[in-house]
Amino acid sequence: MRESLFCLLALLLSAGCQVGEAGNTEVLQNRNGKLVSFSHPQTECSQCHAQHVEEWEISNHAYAAKDPVFHAMVKAGQAQTEGKIGQFCVQCHSPVGLATEQTPVFFDEDLGVFQQETEDLDAVAQQGVSCDVCHSITDVIEPQNARMVLTPDGTKRGTIVDPVPTEAHQSSYSQLHTTSEVCGSCHAVTTPRGALAEETFSEWASSDAAKQGKTCQSCHMPEYIGQAAPDAPERTLHRHTFVGVDVSLLPPDEFPGYESMRELVRAMLESSAKLDMRMVASQNFEQRQERALEVTISNLTGHALPTGATAERQLWLEIIIKNSAGDIVFESGTLDAHGDIRDGIASHSSRPGTDPQLAYYGQYLIEDQILKSLTDPQEIEERKKALDQACDAIVQGGTNAPAEVKVVTFPWQANWQCNRMIAPDASSKHLFSLQELPAAKYSASLRLLFRTFPPYFLRELEEVGALDAAVKDRVPLVTVAQKEWAFQIGGDGFVLPGQTH
């Protein structure tokens, strides 16, 4: 690992590889006496790997350094932390930009704040997680925070055991590329202040999918039969669209695959969960019988649902019940005038706390003043446990929330988190109390909804990160699953079995 050409390491300096100096192409060429570089996918790979390039160029990996939300977050983050974020974000979003020192953090005299160059990158660094980033990975030191080793020496590492020789490059079989570890060092983010902002790798590691031998590639790089290059034999190949939940929020003509990626994401999300419901008469906490609708969401993915940047992801249940005159008599998960869900947090909604039965699955980032002041590792662990236990009160906002804990919007503001995702392989049950409904006939509709960003988050970025206001209108709202049915509440107070379809 040490003989590798350079290391790309997390935040801190580590064994001879400083983030600041890592990957200076000039230095590497001198040090090793041979050409070291990253190539441009379209101009240097597509003549032989056209299919791979066409798929990859609509993927979020190609979008990682072009993403307008990314640029706005870096702008806000560097200003708010006085440049302390340093090279943290670009490690994963433009490894080439970092390696070739195109992303300096500097003090902007005109604006009077710290900024970082992330937009004016050369044609290769703009490609984000490009072919050569993944196909140069030679080691993963730890599956988080970009702790991996890149060796961009021209050899392409992949999973073909007997690659046909080509003049274009050396090929080399890499067992690492068959594993989830090769994805893991980027798909797990612990912020400099200790918040677990993304935990996809460890969620997967604990899942049944992992035990059954399913890797990230099994679901995100499906197999097909084809030719990897014009004169190569037919083989089992792997899709490079890396479908997840994100889509380009740039204007449709500024990033390829605007519509096709939206289609692929919709299909992926529809495969992510199973929705079941039934009417129940449950015991409430005063041991009274209570009519309720029990909704069960089963997580069918290989990690939490949602996963990844869960503080922004929104998965929630919308339920609307109407009486026979068509008037809405019960609703939850419906939006406020700005399009935000009505949870308990004042900065999220114009009507906070007006949806007490809300079923929301995602993450709340928090900043705790007590945790901030602790240095003893054991005390820190104990405080984190106490915070986990206080999460119900914290996410409800209101007066029961501990005064020293604040729900924050951005990852660099947080030092811990309250997770409300559905764990891998788990089912989440939610009870909507229908106790207030009088005896009558009703029609109901239930939807499991998903979107990548809440409007409040993007509005805040318009203010502090100069995000284009048109971006929020391009965020799709996806119906993951839905049910409609009719039911009747009898005079004796019991729910008659309704019809569901």
Site residues for ligand HEC, 148-187, by CB under 6 A, read 156, 158-160, 163-164, 166, 168-169, 171-173, 177-178, 180, 182-184, 186-187
Interface segment toward ligand HEC; rule CB under 6 A; list 19-27, 305-313, 343-351, 483-491: 305-313
Nearest Cα neighbor of 369 from 383, 354, 390 is 383
**Which residue number, 9 or 444, has a Cβ lying nearer to ligand HEC?**
9
Q: Which position among 216, 297, 345, 371 is part of the footprint of ligand HEC (CB under 6 A)?
A: 216
Minimum distance of ligand HEC from residue 361's CB (angstroms): 10
The reply to whether 7 sits near ligand HEC by the rule CB under 6 A is no
Minimum distance of ligand HEC from residue 45's CB (angstroms): 3
User: Residue 136: how many CB atoms within 10 A of its CB?
Assistant: 26
Contacts of residues 260-264 at CB distance under 8 Å and 24 or more positions apart, as own/partner, are: 260/58, 261/58, 261/59, 262/476
Q: Distances in Å between the alpha carbon of 3 and those of 15, 31, 39, 96, 155?
A: 12, 11, 22, 19, 15
Minimum distance of ligand HEC from residue 322's CB (angstroms): 30
Locus of tokens 């986990």: 388
Kindly identify the residues of this chain, within the stretch 318-377, that bind ligand HEC according to CB under 6 A.
none
Minimum distance of ligand HEC from residue 42's CB (angstroms): 8
**Which residue number, 24 or 159, has a Cβ lying nearer to ligand HEC?**
159
Kindly identify the residues of this chain, within the stretch 268-287, that bind ligand HEC according to CB under 6 A.
268-269, 271-272
Q: Which position among 28, 195, 199, 240 is part of the footprint of ligand HEC (CB under 6 A)?
A: 240
Side-chain-side CA neighbours of 362 within 13 Å: the count stands at 24
**Which residue number, 188 or 434, has a Cβ lying nearer to ligand HEC?**
188
Q: Which position among 6, 201, 316, 361 is part of the footprint of ligand HEC (CB under 6 A)?
A: 201
Q: Which amino acid is at 186?
A: C
Burial classification of residue 304, based on how many CB atoms lie within 10 Å of its CB (0-12 exposed, 13-18 middle, 19 or more buried): buried
Minimum distance of ligand HEC from residue 223's CB (angstroms): 8
The reply to whether 70 sits near ligand HEC by the rule CB under 6 A is yes
Kindly identify the residues of this chain, within the stretch 425-454, that bind ligand HEC according to CB under 6 A.
452
Calculate the CA dihedral of residues 282, 351, 69, 88 and round it to 10 degrees: -70
Contacts of 463 (CB under 8 A, 6+ apart): none
Q: Which amino acid is at 230?
A: P
**Which residue number, 63 or 360, has a Cβ lying nearer to ligand HEC?**
63
Contacts of 71 (CB under 8 A, 6+ apart): 118, 119, 465
**Which residue number, 41 or 397, has a Cβ lying nearer to ligand HEC?**
41
**Which residue number, 131 or 345, has a Cβ lying nearer to ligand HEC?**
131
Kindly identify the residues of this chain, within the stretch 94-153, that bind ligand HEC according to CB under 6 A.
95, 129, 131-135, 145-146
**Which residue number, 98 or 345, has a Cβ lying nearer to ligand HEC?**
98
**Which residue number, 158 or 498, has a Cβ lying nearer to ligand HEC?**
158
Tokens of 328: 């809405």
Contacts of 413 (CB under 8 A, 6+ apart): 80, 365, 367
**Which residue number, 23 or 244, has a Cβ lying nearer to ligand HEC?**
244
Q: Which position among 75, 266, 313, 383 is part of the footprint of ligand HEC (CB under 6 A)?
A: 313
Kindly identify the residues of this chain, within the stretch 37-66, that bind ligand HEC according to CB under 6 A.
39, 41, 44-45, 47-49, 52-53, 56, 60-61, 63-64
Nearest Cα neighbor of 327 from 433, 430, 432, 440 is 440
Kindly identify the residues of this chain, within the stretch 401-430, that bind ligand HEC according to CB under 6 A.
411-412
Minimum distance of ligand HEC from residue 248's CB (angstroms): 9
How far is Cα 369 from Cα 383, in angstroms, rounded to an integer?
11
Contacts of residues 377-385 at CB distance under 8 Å and 24 or more positions apart, as own/partner, are: 384/416
**Which residue number, 11 or 434, has a Cβ lying nearer to ligand HEC?**
11
Max intra-chain CA distance, the chain:
87
Contacts of 288 (CB under 8 A, 6+ apart): none
**Which residue number, 161 or 337, has a Cβ lying nearer to ligand HEC?**
161
How far is Cα 156 from Cα 168, in angstroms, rounded to an integer?
10
The reply to whether 261 sits near ligand HEC by the rule CB under 6 A is no
Locus of tokens 């099994």: 218
Minimum distance of ligand HEC from residue 212's CB (angstroms): 9
The dihedral through the CA atoms of 124, 130, 135, 136 has a sign that is: positive
